[in-house]
């Protein structure tokens, strides 16, 4: 706990939490349950969930999670709210203790900030730190102030006591849209402002919620992050190019491309490479898992829009939308052979000679065998004729 003092968390600003909890403590059991059911209704959950919220709220310690938001649009959170297996509430009610999240926490203002500080102090070295949004570094980070402090400082402070740091979204992973030219705020990724720390990146704009949830559940289950690639992205989600699993890939290979929006090829569902699809240089599992839990094909390319490479640094928000991508596997040829061109190999003289020879041999052998058969009474067969050998 000395570390807390070392890193000078503003414990002084922690308000009288006991007094606050005492306020709740004054409720009767009935009133408390009725309150929890009300919360569930607010969240659009069934009234049964009220009981679970109550149970979860009084459950023994779950891994605490501090979620900091920097220069972000809350898209990552919105994406998470649309997850159904597991649902976000399963995660935050059963699996983790989401102690601070600007958009989701019940408290506000000083109260929320105080609770964050309290939780960090109590769980120093044990909590999971999640950051969404990029970190402005120009002019001392004054372009993103939360609770009167530059978010840069808050993130650096929280990172010191974090067991694991997760950067969710492209902004946190590599800078995202705030870091695009001319980058007026000097926006940087989370790992760029935390030298020497390992940040698990879940890029995407927004990222698929299941990539985040799966990473967190992996962490909770195994106590360590899943296997990561060179950019610290979980390999299970970012190990392959979109191009590799794209349902339109056969069109790419066969040279069938949409050339502009609404043309014949586009309406036929042809490959979108020539209208700027960045699938061939973007690593993500979008074609494999889709979005919104409504079945296959529900992802940008699936609904007819070229991938714009949101997960990939130097592609998303950087390359022009309709510029050709740099194909990492192999580029299509400029001209394709006609579909009915002769393929495979046909007759060769040697093959015909062999077949003719075999047929001749069979006929000859058959004739030789027939020669001795008298056709009427063969009871003495083999006694009155020369054998073939």
**Interacting residues toward another protein by CB under 8 A:** 338-348, 350-351, 353-355, 358, 366, 369-370, 372-376, 378-379, 381-383, 385, 387-389
- Our CB check for another protein shows the closer of 261 and 336 to be 336
CB of 279 to another protein, least distance (A): 25
Strands (E), 133-225: 135-136, 145-146, 149-150, 162-168, 187-188, 199-202
Distance of CA 64 to the CA centre of its chain: 23
CB of 374 to another protein, least distance (A): 7
- Our CB check for another protein shows the closer of 24 and 351 to be 351
- Our CB check for another protein shows the closer of 85 and 389 to be 389
CB of 382 to another protein, least distance (A): 4
CB of 153 to another protein, least distance (A): 55
Residue 15 C-beta-side C-alpha neighbours within 13 Å: 13
CB of 356 to another protein, least distance (A): 11
In the 3-class helix/strand/coil scheme, how is 36-64 assigned residue by residue? HHHHHHHCCCCCHHHHHHHHHHCCCCCCE
- Our CB check for another protein shows the closer of 59 and 363 to be 363
- Our CB check for another protein shows the closer of 23 and 367 to be 367
- Cα–Cα dist 115/122, whole Å: 10
- Cα–Cα dist 136/158, whole Å: 16
DSSP 8-state secondary structure symbol assigned to residue 178: G
- Its sign, for the CA torsion 92, 93, 94, 97, is positive
CB of 336 to another protein, least distance (A): 13
- Our CB check for another protein shows the closer of 18 and 388 to be 388
- Our CB check for another protein shows the closer of 269 and 372 to be 372
CB of 199 to another protein, least distance (A): 39
Rounded to 5 degrees, what are φ and ψ at 40?
A: -60, -45
CB of 249 to another protein, least distance (A): 17
Q: What angle do CA 137, 100, 194 make, to 5 degrees?
A: 30
- Our CB check for another protein shows the closer of 8 and 347 to be 347
Angle between the N-to-C axes of helices 109-122 and 17-25, in degrees from 0 to 180, rounded to the nearest 10: 100
CB of 285 to another protein, least distance (A): 25
- Our CB check for another protein shows the closer of 233 and 251 to be 251
CB 134 within 8 A of CB 167: no
CB 68 within 8 A of CB 155: yes
- Alpha carbon dihedral 320, 321, 326, 332, in 10-degree steps, equals -140
Where on the phi/psi map is residue 139: left (φ > 0), alpha (ψ -120 to 50), or beta?
Answer: left
- Cα–Cα dist 6/255, whole Å: 62
- Cα–Cα dist 112/110, whole Å: 6
């Amino acid at each position: 706990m000395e570390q807390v003092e070392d890193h000078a968390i503003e414990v002084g600003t922690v308000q009288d939490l006991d007094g606050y909890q005492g306020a709740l403590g004054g409720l009767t059991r009935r009133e408390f349950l009725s309150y929890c059911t009300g919360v569930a209704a607010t969240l659009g959950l069934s009234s049964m969930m009220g009981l679970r919220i109550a149970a979860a709220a009084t459950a023994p310690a779950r891994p605490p999670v501090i979620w900091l938001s920097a220069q972000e649009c809350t898209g990552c959170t919105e994406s998470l709210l649309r997850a159904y297996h597991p649902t976000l509430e399963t995660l935050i009610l059963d699996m983790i203790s989401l102690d601070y999240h600007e958009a989701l926490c019940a408290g506000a203002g000083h109260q929320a900030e105080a609770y964050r500080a309290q939780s960090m102090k109590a769980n120093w070295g044990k909590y999971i730190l999640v950051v969404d949004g990029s970190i402005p570094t120009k002019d001392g980070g004054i372009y993103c102030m939360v609770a009167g402090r530059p978010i840069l400082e808050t993130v650096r402070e929280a990172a010191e006591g974090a067991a694991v740091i997760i950067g969710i979204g492209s902004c946190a992973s590599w800078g995202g849209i705030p870091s695009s030219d001319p980058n007026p705020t000097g926006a940087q990724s989370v790992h760029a402002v935390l030298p020497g720390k390992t940040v698990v990146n879940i890029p995407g704009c927004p990222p698929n919620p299941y990539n985040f949830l799966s990473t967190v559940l992996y962490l909770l289950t195994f106590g360590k992050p899943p296997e990561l690639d060179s950019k610290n992205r979980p390999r299970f989600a970012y190990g392959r190019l979109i191009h590799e699993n794209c349902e339109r890939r056969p069109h790419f290979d066969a040279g069938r491309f949409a050339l502009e929006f609404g043309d014949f090829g586009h309406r036929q569902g042809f490959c979108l490479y020539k209208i700027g699809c960045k699938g061939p240089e973007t690593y993500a599992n979008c074609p494999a898992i889709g979005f919104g839990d409504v079945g296959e094909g529900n992802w940008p390319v699936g609904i007819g829009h070229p991938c714009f490479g949101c997960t990939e640094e130097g592609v998303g928000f950087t390359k022009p939308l309709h510029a050709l991508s740099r194909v990492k596997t192999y580029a299509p040829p400029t001209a394709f052979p006609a579909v009915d061109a002769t393929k495979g190999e046909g007759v060769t003289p040697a093959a015909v000679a062999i077949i003719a020879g075999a047929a001749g041999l069979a006929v000859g052998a058959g004739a030789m065998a027939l020669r001795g058969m008298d056709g009427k009474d063969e009871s003495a067969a083999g006694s009155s004729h020369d054998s073939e050998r």
